[in-house]
Amino acid sequence: MSFVEYGDTIKDGDTAIVFLGHESMFPVKVQHGTVTQTKYGVIRHSTDLIGKKYGSKVTCSKGGWVFILHPTPELWTMNLPHRTQILYSTDISIITMMLELKPGSIVCESGTGSGSLSHALIRTVAPTGHLYTVEFHQQRAEKAREEFREHGVEHLVTVTNQDVCKNGFGVSNIADAVFLDIPSPWEAIGHAKSALKAEGGRICSFSPCIEQVQRTCLAMEEYGFTEINTLEILLRVYNVRTISLQIPDLGKAAEDNSSTGFDSSNTSNQGSPCANLQQGTVQFKSGVPLREMVGHTGYLTFATKS
């Protein structure tokens, strides 16, 4: 099993996603002789998982069933153990696009955190690219190394435990892109410039506060970066619903039209929205935004090394 190479069958030692529903799923490490408890009963790894195909429907001990999914960066983002605040797919997708990442790209990242963005970057640059990720916190760096090894991507990533603001990324003039998610990104702009390739490299900084963005933009200008721009990505979901609206009273002319053109006894008009004018309402499909939505997460500032 690897997060960048699809495996057909579940093997001992794999990380799999137990899918109970769109709002209920969790990761599990498959181990011979181990059991996993769910609200539908017990899943026995030896008999229910190992050797089965990913995507299989597994019946639990109480008669309920779950699906066992192959892990992807998107599923891992939704289910990973949180050691820090993480980036979600909405921001990750725009970061990947604006940094112009592709297979073979070299990327530097700080900090590693819980590894949400890291897994997506690794999948994007595989199989010939590489991710250099720097984490200030020693325990988080060690845990990240362990997860990358378990997920079969350790050959595509180098984890370094150091302060990027003081010591940089440990590489020079090779990176196609740099990503910063640290409290004071303006202190690391010089190291980011040193890590980027000679010309045309891209940089992105994620900050929750506009004051951080202002200082970062000033530092980018000082170090000669161009095409500096800041984005904020807000996700707004719409529900498709059937809406009923009352027909307005438009006077005698409207009554004449309704009596001649929209006779309710005429079966040819039964399917039209105007067929129920006599009831005084019309129904149609409409997109309605949710009453609540995910608000501000952070500002994404992009720039190019010239």
Is 91 annotated as ligand-binding? no
188 contacts 163 by C-beta, under 8 angstroms: no
What the block records as the tokens of 171 is 């590489």
Is 114 annotated as ligand-binding? yes
191 contacts 41 by C-beta, under 8 angstroms: no
- What pTM was computed for the model? 0.84
Contacts of 293 (CB under 8 A, 6+ apart): 234, 235, 236, 237
What the block records as the tokens of 69 is 């999914």
pLDDT in tens, 186-204: 999 999 999 999 989 999 9
Is 69 annotated as ligand-binding? no
Contacts of 267 (CB under 8 A, 6+ apart): none
**What is the pLDDT tens value at each position of the chain, 306 positions in all?**
899 999 999 999 999 999 999 889 999 999 999 999 999 999 999 999 999 999 999 999 998 999 999 999 999 999 999 999 999 999 999 999 999 999 999 999 999 999 999 999 999 999 999 999 999 999 999 999 999 999 999 999 999 999 999 999 999 999 999 999 999 999 999 999 999 999 899 999 999 999 999 999 999 999 999 999 999 999 888 889 888 888 887 776 555 555 555 454 444 445 554 444 445 888 889 888 888 877 889 999 999 998
Question: How long is the chain?
Answer: 306
Residue 233, number of CB atoms within 10 A of its CB:
17
Given the DSSP bridges, would you call strands 177-180 and 202-207 parallel, antiparallel or unpaired? parallel
Given the DSSP bridges, would you call strands 15-21 and 24-29 parallel, antiparallel or unpaired? antiparallel
Which long-range CB contacts under 8 A does 46-52 form with residues at least 24 apart? 49/10, 49/16, 50/10, 50/11, 50/12, 51/9, 51/10, 52/9, 52/10
Is 135 annotated as ligand-binding? yes
Is 56 annotated as ligand-binding? no
For 166-189, b where at least 16 C-beta lie within 10 A, e where not — what string?
A: eebbebeeebbbbbbbbeebbbbb
**C-alpha to C-alpha distance for 74 and 152, rounded to whole angstroms:** 16
Is 48 annotated as ligand-binding? no
Is 256 annotated as ligand-binding? no
27 contacts 16 by C-beta, under 8 angstroms: yes
Q: Which domains does the chain have, with CATH numbers?
A: 9-71 (3.10.330.20), 75-234+295-305 (3.40.50.150)
Contacts of 254 (CB under 8 A, 6+ apart): none
Q: Where are the beta strands (DSSP E) in 136-295?
A: 157-161, 177-180, 202-207, 225-231, 238-246, 281-289
